[in-house]
Amino acid sequence: METAAKALIEGYMQKAEKKLKVAKKLLKSHDYEDCVSRAYYAVYHAAQALLLTEGEKAETHKGVVTLFGLLFVKTGKFNKNIGRYIANLKDDRESGDYEIFCYVDSKSAETAVSEAREFLKAAREYLQKNYPNVLK
């Protein structure tokens, strides 16, 4: 793998970790809509990192979901639940960010953080196993 790709993967994973950290803070401060949004972006950035390992980069959010499903879920590299997390979080983020009368409760926000945490854990484990020199 090229040095530039390694740097991008590491950068995406660092950004993913940062977004997850912010999501946890927003959960504690009861800002549930923004919590879900940050949890989604944690997963989005981790998924972009994973796509780079396959030589892919999605240009849209829908593209990230679709490519992740095709390259990682359908091939059995990740289980279906992990694949569902990114799609569900994308939908929840869009509702929270764009719908005027959207209500996100604490349980939904807690679920979003939990799913993001699990997705990032699976992404890290995959990268460490298959690309041990990528993450510091």
135 within a domain of the structure (yes/no)? no
pLDDT value for 115? 97
The three-state secondary structure class of 131 is: coil
Between CA 13 and CA 1 the distance in angstroms is 16
pLDDT value for 2? 83
pLDDT in tens, 8-50: 999 999 999 999 999 999 999 999 999 999 999 999 999 999 9
pLDDT in tens, 84-119: 999 999 887 878 777 788 788 899 999 999 999 999
Instruction: Decide if pLDDT at 133 tops 90.
Output: no
Q: What is the pTM of this model?
A: 0.93
136 within a domain of the structure (yes/no)? no
Structural domain span for residue 39: 3-130
CATH of the domain at 126: 1.20.120.330
Whether the Cβ atoms of residue 135 and residue 52 lie closer than 8 Å to each other: no
CA–CA distances in Å: residue 73 to residues 4, 47, 60, 122: 26, 12, 19, 12
| Residue of 119, 114, 97 whose CA lies nearest to 47 | 119
Between CA 5 and CA 32 the distance in angstroms is 34
| Region 64-85 average pLDDT | 96
